[in-house]
Structure 1
Amino acid sequence: MFDYLIVGCGFSGAVSARLLAEKGKKILIVDKRNHIGGNAYDYYDDNGILVHKYGPHIFHTNSKRVWEFLSRFTKWYLYQHKVLSYVDGRLVPMPINVDTVNQLYGTNYSNDTISEFFDKVREKDIEINNARDMVVTKVGSQLYKMFFEGYTKKQWGIMPEELEKEVTARIPIRTNRDDRYFTNVYQGLPLDGYTKMFENMLNHENIHIMLNTDYKFIKSEIQYKSLIYTGCADEFFDYKFGRLPYRSINFEFETLNQDYYQKVGTVNYPNDYDFTRITEFKHLTGQKCYNTTIVREYSCSDGEPYYPVPQSKNQKLYLEYKKQVENLENAYFLGRLGQYRYMNMDVVVDEAIKLVDKLK
């Protein structure tokens, strides 16, 4: 008899498992994949470079509680992410800041005067109803087309006008020269990798793990009191109301016989090529070696579910499933897939901590 059956061994499952195990609960975690760590899983490739199998994961948070909890299981490489965007044949800082504007327009704005530029170009007196509106009211239509329209269409497969405004609301516009992609108090990557951090987190006598295991095939064979589910909500209920749409990504890894491929960790390609961005892992990990590995990302509609598609009709469909969840006894849904919403890693960790607090 297990106190908790946890489906999924990513952040949601692993964090809740560790906290419950420390309270004396017996835990069984099952995962379809052949590894722990969910989408944060990393490994050393054939050239000895630590790569993220499911795309770059840079941890950043303002939550001291979340940072201190994870710090129990890892030391950190204190990395601050830099992103450039390939626009009109040149690489410029992203998010848009003072230097971005000056490089593109040949201007000489300062931190004190850049607001004059944004006030001049932004669209005024329009109601913000979608992702496009959110951007043009901040930076105007020209910068929107340069940086956002093409990228969003590649990323989501639909135009920004068809997406909820929250998609672009989280993208900052800087009125200074700060070229860090994130400005959170705590930023970095686990020093020995995410997988090692998860191994340490799950190293507890009350935690048992079954990989290569589909929950549906073992649920009737396992005795347990409560369920924590981090998979897709629609799949759990056999798609009884229809399928929730997700965006997936195809990853193209390449190792090059050179020191570095690009100047920063990630370069976005909003208008050129089929891929959305290229990430070079040595920037993220600080490794020193004579070759380098990059990954190109191609967004697609089929494949592993990564991003819930932020449209109101999809949220309405999810609410039908949420009602079903609320009718279950001793069952809790967590994570991007279980709650059908985009969340950064720190929010996922915080949600798991809060759940265990509530169960207490």
Structure 2
Amino acid sequence: MFDYLVIGCGLAGMTTSRVLAEKGMKVLIVDKRNHIGGNIYDYYNEAEILIHKYGPHIFHTNNKRVWEFLSEFTEWREYQHKVLSYVNGMLVPMPVNLDTINMLYSTSYNSLTINEFFNNVKENVEEINNSKDVIVSQVGEELYKLFFEGYTKKQWDLYPYELGKEVTSRVPTRSNRDPRYFTDKYQGMPKYGYTKMAENIINHENIKVMLNTTYKEIKEEVKYSKVIFTGCIDEFFEEKHGELPYRSLNFIEETHDMEYYQTVGVVNYPNDYDYTRITEYKYLTGQKNDKTTIMKEISKADGEPYYPIPKPENKKLYSIYRNEADKLENVYFLGRLGTYSYMNMDAVIYQALQFCDSILE
């Protein structure tokens, strides 16, 4: 008899399982994939380079509690993520900063004068309703088209004005030369990889794991008191109100016989090529190897669900499922897919920790 049946061995499922296990609860984690860790799963490829199977995951947070929770299960490799964007035939820093502007426009602004530029180009948007409004209110129409319009269309198959404002509210602009993509207080990569960290999280005598198994297959076969569901909420209800749309990704992995392929971990391609970005994993992991592996990402509509699409009509459909979920006893929904939310890793973990707080009071 298990106290909790946890569906999904990603960050939400692993976090709740560990906290509950430490409180004496018996937990069974079930995942339909053949590995633990969900989308943070990493592994060594044939060239012995550690890569992320589901695209780059760079950990960053300002939440001390989340950082301390993960730090129980991993040491950290110090890593400050840098991104370049290929526009107008140049590789320029992203997010847009002082150097980006000076490179694009052959200007010589400094940190004291750059705001003159932004004040001249940004548009007065009375009400921020969508992602385009967020961007043009900060950097104006021209930079919007250079950096965001094409990238967003490739990523979501929607233009920024069709998407909720939360999609681009995570992308800042800077009036200094700081090239880091994130400025959070806590940043780093698990020293021995995400999969090793995941192994440590679920390594507890009160936690059992079953892979290659779906909720449908297991729900009548074992005894349990409560369910924590971190898969797609519409899937739980057999999509009876309709299917919630997600964006998926196709990854093209290439290993090259050279030490490095590019000068930073990630290069964005907002306007050229089919792919949105290229990740070179050796920058993220700090590995030494004569070869290097890159991964190109092409967004698509079908496949593994990665990103809930934040459009008003999708949120409305989710709210119908949410209302159904609220009527259930002893069934809880967490994580990106379970709450149809576009969340960073730290937000997923914090949501799980807060959930445990609420049920353990």
TM-score, scaled relative to structure 1:
0.99
Size of the alignment, in residue pairs? 360
Where in structure 2 are the equivalents of 1:7-86 lying within 5 Å?
7-86=7-86
- Measured in 2, the distance between the counterparts of 1:359 and 1:165 equals 32
Where in structure 2 are the equivalents of 1:249-260 lying within 5 Å?
249-260=249-260
- Measured in 1, the distance between the counterparts of 2:351 and 2:161 equals 30
Q: Which residue in the other structure is 1:221 paired with?
A: 221
**Secondary structure of 2:167's partner?**
helix
Q: Does 1:339 align with 2:342?
A: no
Q: Which residue in the other structure is 1:165 paired with?
A: 165
Q: Which residue in the other structure is 1:278 paired with?
A: 278
- Measured in 1, the distance between the counterparts of 2:19 and 2:244 equals 30
CA deviations 1:186-236 (Å, max 9, x no partner) are 101100000000101111111000000011111011110011000000000
- Measured in 1, the distance between the counterparts of 2:95 and 2:236 equals 38
**Secondary structure of 1:332's partner?**
strand
- Measured in 2, the distance between the counterparts of 1:50 and 1:134 equals 36
Q: For the aligned residues, what is the CA RMSD?
A: 0.7
CA deviations 1:294-330 (Å, max 9, x no partner) are 0000000000000000101100000000001100001
Where in structure 2 are the equivalents of 1:1-360 lying within 5 Å?
1-360=1-360
Aligned-pair CA distance for 1:125: 4.5
- Measured in 2, the distance between the counterparts of 1:103 and 1:206 equals 56
CA contact (8 A) 2:9 2:38 kept: yes
Moved more, 287-296 or 159-168: 159-168
Aligned-pair CA distance for 1:106: 0.5
- Measured in 2, the distance between the counterparts of 1:127 and 1:210 equals 49
Aligned-pair CA distance for 1:129: 2.1
CA deviations 1:126-161 (Å, max 9, x no partner) are 432221111111101110000000000000001111
- Measured in 1, the distance between the counterparts of 2:59 and 2:127 equals 34
- Measured in 2, the distance between the counterparts of 1:165 and 1:185 equals 24
- Measured in 1, the distance between the counterparts of 2:208 and 2:158 equals 42
Is there any run of 5+ residues in structure 2 with no aligned partner, and where? Answer: none
**Secondary structure of 2:274's partner?**
coil
- Measured in 2, the distance between the counterparts of 1:206 and 1:266 equals 39
Moved more, 1-10 or 119-128: 119-128
CA contact (8 A) 2:125 2:133 kept: no
**Secondary structure of 1:192's partner?**
coil
Distance 1:125 1:152, change over 3 A: closer
**Secondary structure of 2:234's partner?**
helix
Aligned-pair CA distance for 1:37: 0.2
Aligned-pair CA distance for 1:91: 0.1
Moved more, 118-127 or 36-45: 118-127
- Measured in 2, the distance between the counterparts of 1:221 and 1:133 equals 51
| Amino acid paired to 1:29 | I
- Measured in 1, the distance between the counterparts of 2:353 and 2:99 equals 40
**Secondary structure of 1:351's partner?**
helix
- Measured in 1, the distance between the counterparts of 2:259 and 2:125 equals 50
**Secondary structure of 1:166's partner?**
coil
- Measured in 2, the distance between the counterparts of 1:95 and 1:2 equals 47
